[in-house]
Amino acid sequence: MERQQNEPPNQVILFLISLLMNWTKRGVLYSSPFDGSWRDNSALTPTLLDMGSNVLRIYVGMRDSLGVSRIGYIDVSKNNPSEVLKISENPVLDVGEKGCFDDNGVILGDVLRVGEEIWMYYVGFQKVKNVKFLAFN
């Protein structure tokens, strides 16, 4: 889709939106457990999805002690977002099989509703040593 002649570039739109927003730092919502699990180390790339009723789901890449990320979620109350309702027990998206583009971690790109389904776009990581060669087209 081409930009219209009088339409400002995306960076200008984002800058103007940021001027209108008044952010207030509220503190820590989630802290990694440092327990040796798949979500041991840290959480990154938070992406929000309204689940209806009183639940906002925050999908995040949760890293293990080696820094390998898997995608999980944190559910918070829509009326009180500092109230954590649930944290995923298991990844909703785990690493790929050895040799695949995502065999050394995944992080979130975006999550959106398509009809009754939830679609997830993500980024995969691999260590080059796991494959014979890389070919890009």
Q: Is 3 part of any domain?
A: no
Q: Is 57 part of any domain?
A: yes
Q: What is the pLDDT of residues 7-58, one digit of tens each?
A: 545 566 666 666 676 767 777 888 888 999 999 988 888 999 999 889 999 9
Residues 126/100, Cβ–Cβ less than 8 Å: yes
Q: Is 20 part of any domain?
A: no
Q: Is 8 part of any domain?
A: no
The domain of 73 spans 35-130
Q: Is 83 part of any domain?
A: yes
The number of angstroms, rounded, from the C-alpha of 12 to the middle of its chain's C-alpha atoms is 25
User: Which 8-state DSSP code applies to residue 29?
Assistant: S
| 28-to-20, 47, 85 alpha-carbon distances in Å | 24, 16, 15
Q: Is 93 part of any domain?
A: yes
Long-range contacts of 17-22 (CB under 8 A, 24+ apart): none
Domain count along the chain:
1
Q: Is the pTM of this model over 0.85?
A: no
Residues 7/16, Cβ–Cβ less than 8 Å: no
Q: Is 105 part of any domain?
A: yes
Q: What is the pLDDT of residues 107-123, one digit of tens each?
A: 999 999 999 999 999 99
Q: Is 9 part of any domain?
A: no
